[in-house]
Amino acid sequence: MKKSILICLGALLLAACATTNQVALESKTSQVATRNYQTRSFDTTDKVNVMNNIVATMQDLGFVIEKADKEIGTISGFSFTNQTTMTVSVRPQGKSMIVRANASKGTRAITEPQAYQNFFNALSQSLFLTANEVL
């Protein structure tokens, strides 16, 4: 009797470990996908210009800028209309600037790629207009 109980417990423990590993793998895959749509590379080495355009883009989208640190490369803002917080970071990588945006509504991260696509489309347009001295 004890032997069969031990075998059942052992099988249960092994099954639990397999499930945990599968969840961890799925979680890593979704994190990579999330990071992919939250990040864009821009062909410029002018960090200050990129950050100024991020501030302008966020304001155009209804965000009130709460904090901007050009040395660290972060900008945070809040949209009262959407009750959304967004933090954008900028870092150099070779001859490009990597921009990553993270948005949340309350305590929940925004995971819809379209929200980030809208932000990056507006930012790309702003950078293009600035580079061509249209603004």
State the chain's mean pLDDT as an integer: 87
Domain assignment present for residue 69? The answer is yes
Domain count, the chain: 1
- On whether the CB atoms of residues 120 and 40 are closer than 8 A, the answer is yes
Looking up residue 69, the CATH number of its domain turns out to be 3.30.310.80
The pLDDT confidence band at residue 16, using thresholds 50, 70 and 90, is low
In a domain, 85, yes or no: yes
Interatomic CA distance for residues 55 and 73, integer angstroms: 12
Residue 76, both tokens: 């945070």
| Domain annotation covers residue 9 | no
Check: pTM over 0.85? Answer yes or no.
Answer: no
Q: What residues make up the domain containing 116?
A: 37-131
Q: Is 10 among the domain residues?
A: no
Q: What is the pLDDT of residues 105-121, one digit of tens each?
A: 999 999 999 999 999 99
Higher pLDDT, 29 or 58: 58
The answer to whether residue 3 sits within a structural domain is: no
**pLDDT tier at 27, thresholds 50, 70, 90:** low
Q: Rounded to an integer, what distance in angstroms lies between the CA atom of residue 130 and that of residue 24? A: 43
The pLDDT of residue 28 is above 60: no
Examine residue 22 and state whether it is found in any structural domain, yes or no. no
- Assigned domain for 46 exists: yes
Residue 70: how many other CB atoms lie within 10 Å: 13
pLDDT at 42 over 60: yes
80-83 contact pairs (CB < 8 A, 24+): none
Q: Pull the structure tokens for residue 111.
A: 């995971």
Mean pLDDT value across residues 8-30? 54
Q: What would the mean pLDDT of 33-41 be, rounded to a whole number?
A: 93
Residue 92 lies in a domain: yes
Say if residue 79's pLDDT is above 90. Answer: yes
